[in-house]
Amino acid sequence: MDNVNVYVLTSLFIDADGNVASRNVGVTFDLFEAELHKSNGVENDFETFHIGSNWQEEVATTELVVMMRGFREMVEEMRAEALR
């Protein structure tokens, strides 16, 4: 399984300025639940997002890279301080 579909349920509303706006009202992995939400009124809809099945691994890798860059900056500062 390479991708997972996530359905973000949305609903239209009129804001304080009288403008039509959209807000997220839920999230589901079930297409039938998304379709049911959409059929409850014209103001309801959903958006589909495709997420890689290894998203947790990608997030962990990103966090590791950020931490390594921070550590590198700290070492460079310590080295510059030592050379003064």
Confidence of residue 39 (pLDDT cuts 50, 70, 90): very high
DSSP for the chain reads: --EEEEEEEEEEEE-TTS-EEEEEEEEES-HHHHHHHHHT-TTEEEEEEEEETTHHHHHHHHHHHHHHHHHHHHHHHHHHHHH-
- Residue spans of the domains in the chain: they are 1-53, 54-84
Confidence of residue 24 (pLDDT cuts 50, 70, 90): very high
Q: Is the pLDDT of residue 27 over 60?
A: yes
How high is the pLDDT of residue 1?
54
Separation between Cα atoms, residue 6 and residue 23, nearest integer Å? 16
Give residue 3's pLDDT band: very low, low, confident or very high (50, 70, 90).
confident
